[in-house]
Structure 1
């Protein structure tokens, strides 16, 4: 018995020596954002770590290893649903992004404060606990970086939409506007002159908004809720690493500084079994299945009648079966070949060999999952990064895009038939899937390694580039540019003065002396 107890003690000691306490702050009330945050934290728990996550969504399916504690942001999901309906998501395609950005920054500011002021979060802040690392979703919620300073732990960021201006300016990562379009613009990397001009103007406009409006507002929240922490701007640029939900097989290849790590696809898991009715439906659909989902924020049931009827009439003519994520109990005019589901296990569905096509809004998670499984897509982008993703899908040749305004029975029929009958789309999707899977280690293993690396090396400050410590005018070489410009102007002025003097001397008439008789 003593030997047994000694062995148990040894195992516990070994576990504690390799287990870290990690806090994850994922307050964004969006199912897609939550899936990424919870997937990362569950992956860390499965490695034996003691994990705490702040989240609007409480899950019952918890990791079997480690420790997984959920701090609920009660009321967030309900408030988000009210806000989502008020925003009328399908009408956002017409919004001017220059006008929409200030609205979103103000909204995110409010959401940041509501999370900090939540009773459950305040209880955690006042608990006296210690953490070895704090992971915060980077989504213009800069005051949340104060969790790291409050708990005296290294700060790790998770960018759910890959590299973007919100991340780049915090780690001094270059993003040339000549070929890197802003995530909120509907441009591909092959931009025209006017698109490059707009992209550059929007980048400048964004920086002005962030530094003169968003950051000062976040600084006030930071000072209010973390009064004993270091200065806001010292914390703002102090991220140890940034985990990016991206990968060259998913996103455009762009420059990265050393502390930016690609982990795109880390959330994809297909180990679960399909519900029996879905398994039967997919297995028996030998002619093939089209899977149709507009994601978690866009709801198919909120489509205008004319758009909905265009889908219904198109689907009714097809020999394939349709699996449609429809959020209501009844779909008026539902064809016999259409099966509905208020919620559908997307990853497991896309993994089924009988799924021939995915009709999607083009969100990054849906794009990732269709690439993972090698399924061609028809993208109907509406807002956010969906148009950017649709350009990449079309450029890589594994899908087609259809603008929301262009939805009609004729357009849908033409696009779907092209995707189903032309094998190049499926072949390109399979090739893109091979690129996704061809990695030295899996994305979740990569994420876990780098989180543990930061903990092992006390924040890993050696990964940061010197650019994060430079003021903007030095980083942009404004002082150098002004010096060169001033030198050129002065040199030109001196040259002009000298040239004028020489010209004056040369053009002065000669006075001839008269001879005396």
Structure 2
């Protein structure tokens, strides 16, 4: 093969790659650990696909892959604010607060991330630089004012949802959400028990969410946005200008639910193939034929914040087991039994991939429950806040886990030991999770490839308006046919009144005729 021919092939290849290189802006202002995993992994996938990525973020991206060009804008003060906010909160104590109070507090705190982003001088420089982008990607997380970035750069808006279809994203694209069986993320999975109580509870959750969003949350978002961009369209218009929603879900993780064409499931895209474990952890796992339990309450919840009495009885239960326990614990634990090993951080995905892991004790975060299905490990869930309870409910409903809510009065030594022994000695949980694992991996392509394809698709087709359903622009009274029902009822009322008037007239005429005849006789 001649050098000239090789050179020509190289030029063709390069021109093909550059022809499909898009400029993509990701704006991710929330510094939460699990959320950073989701957003950075998506941006890395786009970089590997050869696209140029600008990422407005709160922490630097580690291990930037080769491929496209990468530009990073770190929001000044965001991580410091978040750190101070988290230090002022003990998330384990939030069990005492109702959902409405928690949401109001979180909305107030998250508004600060909006202003820190808009105020950042590097962000302002980008806005006024005249730079062009082919798409803007946001994570949907009480940050609707940031949708103005798609308006500023006049490009498609793509939303990443850390959950499956839910009330925060359904309305953005007109996705149907039947309250009779589509569980609100605060209620939990009741797909196998559609009782009147569960359906009524779900209805209350949806109504509360609607009222909170439309009469409290969105007006606040609009007010913040108008401080910086007074000529921007109303927040309601920005809300429904979404080209694509990427859902961190899959039917192996969630019950089957309706999805409009511009909602795409990419659940588990953030999971990398398992890597080599650190030697000390690998040796411990390899030399534990009796099995190992992995225990972690996630990134934000700290096991060290557990009250002393709860730590005592948890250790008492764990110390009775023949299995070893790896517990993500954030400080020294001198009273721990010999079979319990602690570290401030563990490589969770790589540990779950080890064949000697028998059980995962988890807070029930979506990333953790996705990883446990990916690796086929049953769970004992101890949910505390957010969607953790709903994730735990799905594990129970699908038979691969048990739930012991931290807020429940049943959270005690006796029940913890009972559920732990049930899961360790009953093979049905492992059998069920292995079935879920097969469903998870049975896909036409890897979820990251799916995500990249649909992002490129939305850009290629200028926002893919042909995928948008007409219902996205309908107000609620038209969507649910209330106006049609009112017209029908009014029509029936008119028919009834008219018929009644005619009958009365006929009856009175007949009555007069009868009276007249009697008088004549």
- TM (norm. structure 2) is 0.93
The gaps in structure 2 that reach 5 residues or longer are: none
Measured at CA, do residues 514 and 279 of structure 1 come closer, stay the same or move farther in structure 2, by a change above 3 Å? Answer: closer
Q: Distance in 2 between matches of 1:7 and 1:255?
A: 45
Alignment correspondent of 1:401: 403
Q: What is the CA distance between 1:422 and its match in structure 2?
A: 0.8
Alignment correspondent of 1:303: 306
Q: Distance in 2 between matches of 1:313 and 1:176?
A: 45
Q: Distance in 2 between matches of 1:99 and 1:505?
A: 67
Q: Distance in 2 between matches of 1:226 and 1:5?
A: 50
Alignment deviations for residues 45-96 of structure 1 (CA, whole Å, 9 cap, x no partner)? 1111111211112133221332233221243233223222433211223322
Q: What is the CA distance between 1:303 and its match in structure 2?
A: 0.6
Q: What is the CA distance between 1:475 and its match in structure 2?
A: 1.8
Measured at CA, do residues 499 and 104 of structure 1 come closer, stay the same or move farther in structure 2, by a change above 3 Å? Answer: farther
| 1:294 aligned residue (284, 294, 297) | 297
Q: Distance in 1 between matches of 2:123 and 2:334?
A: 44
Q: Distance in 2 between matches of 1:395 and 1:300?
A: 26
Alignment deviations for residues 96-143 of structure 1 (CA, whole Å, 9 cap, x no partner)? 223433333333333222222223322322333221111111112111
Query: More deviation in 112-121 or 463-472?
Result: 112-121
Q: Distance in 1 between matches of 2:195 and 2:362?
A: 27
Alignment correspondent of 1:366: 368
Query: More deviation in 201-210 or 245-254?
Result: 201-210
Q: May I ask how many residue pairs the two structures share in their alignment?
A: 514
Alignment correspondent of 2:257: 254
* RMSD of Structure 2 on Structure 1 (CA): 2.4
- Asked whether the equivalents of residues 190 and 198 of structure 2 are also in contact (C-alpha less than 8 Å), the reply is no
Q: What is the CA distance between 1:223 and its match in structure 2?
A: 3.2
Q: What is the CA distance between 1:169 and its match in structure 2?
A: 0.9
Q: What secondary structure, in the 3-state scheme, does the structure 1 residue paired with 2:45 have?
A: helix
Alignment correspondent of 1:270: 273
Q: Distance in 2 between matches of 1:107 and 1:439?
A: 39
Q: Distance in 2 between matches of 1:514 and 1:463?
A: 78
- Asked whether the equivalents of residues 249 and 432 of structure 1 are also in contact (C-alpha less than 8 Å), the reply is yes
Alignment correspondent of 1:182: 184
- Asked whether the equivalents of residues 270 and 351 of structure 1 are also in contact (C-alpha less than 8 Å), the reply is no
Q: How does 1:37-436 map to 2 (within 5 A)?
A: 37-189=39-191, 190-227=193-230, 229-328=232-331, 330-404=332-406, 405=408, 406-436=410-440
- Asked whether the equivalents of residues 107 and 217 of structure 2 are also in contact (C-alpha less than 8 Å), the reply is yes
Q: What secondary structure, in the 3-state scheme, does the structure 1 residue paired with 2:72 have?
A: strand
- Asked whether the equivalents of residues 187 and 387 of structure 1 are also in contact (C-alpha less than 8 Å), the reply is no
Measured at CA, do residues 373 and 317 of structure 1 come closer, stay the same or move farther in structure 2, by a change above 3 Å? Answer: same
Q: Distance in 2 between matches of 1:263 and 1:476?
A: 30
Q: What is the CA distance between 1:277 and its match in structure 2?
A: 1.3
Q: What secondary structure, in the 3-state scheme, does the structure 2 residue paired with 1:87 have?
A: coil
Q: What secondary structure, in the 3-state scheme, does the structure 2 residue paired with 1:166 have?
A: coil
Query: More deviation in 292-301 or 65-74?
Result: 65-74
Query: More deviation in 81-90 or 444-453?
Result: 81-90
Q: What is the CA distance between 1:296 and its match in structure 2?
A: 0.8
Q: What secondary structure, in the 3-state scheme, does the structure 1 residue paired with 2:216 have?
A: helix
Q: Distance in 1 between matches of 2:62 and 2:446?
A: 26
- Asked whether the equivalents of residues 324 and 339 of structure 2 are also in contact (C-alpha less than 8 Å), the reply is yes
Query: More deviation in 135-144 or 424-433?
Result: 135-144
Q: Distance in 1 between matches of 2:195 and 2:104?
A: 26
- Asked whether the equivalents of residues 310 and 407 of structure 1 are also in contact (C-alpha less than 8 Å), the reply is no
The gaps in structure 1 that reach 5 residues or longer are: none
Measured at CA, do residues 280 and 472 of structure 1 come closer, stay the same or move farther in structure 2, by a change above 3 Å? Answer: same
Alignment deviations for residues 416-465 of structure 1 (CA, whole Å, 9 cap, x no partner)? 11111111100101110000000011110100100111111111111101
Q: What secondary structure, in the 3-state scheme, does the structure 1 residue paired with 2:88 have?
A: helix
Q: Distance in 1 between matches of 2:33 and 2:422?
A: 32
Query: More deviation in 207-216 or 289-298?
Result: 207-216
Q: Distance in 1 between matches of 2:213 and 2:300?
A: 26
- Asked whether the equivalents of residues 359 and 380 of structure 2 are also in contact (C-alpha less than 8 Å), the reply is yes
Alignment deviations for residues 340-392 of structure 1 (CA, whole Å, 9 cap, x no partner)? 11111111110000100000011100010000000000011111111111111
Q: Distance in 2 between matches of 1:152 and 1:439?
A: 34
Measured at CA, do residues 395 and 116 of structure 1 come closer, stay the same or move farther in structure 2, by a change above 3 Å? Answer: same
Q: Distance in 2 between matches of 1:427 and 1:271?
A: 22
Alignment deviations for residues 377-409 of structure 1 (CA, whole Å, 9 cap, x no partner)? 001111111111111100100011112132222
- Asked whether the equivalents of residues 50 and 68 of structure 1 are also in contact (C-alpha less than 8 Å), the reply is yes
Alignment correspondent of 1:442: 446
Q: Distance in 2 between matches of 1:75 and 1:343?
A: 25
Alignment deviations for residues 234-278 of structure 1 (CA, whole Å, 9 cap, x no partner)? 322111110000000001111111100000000011343211211
- Asked whether the equivalents of residues 23 and 135 of structure 1 are also in contact (C-alpha less than 8 Å), the reply is yes
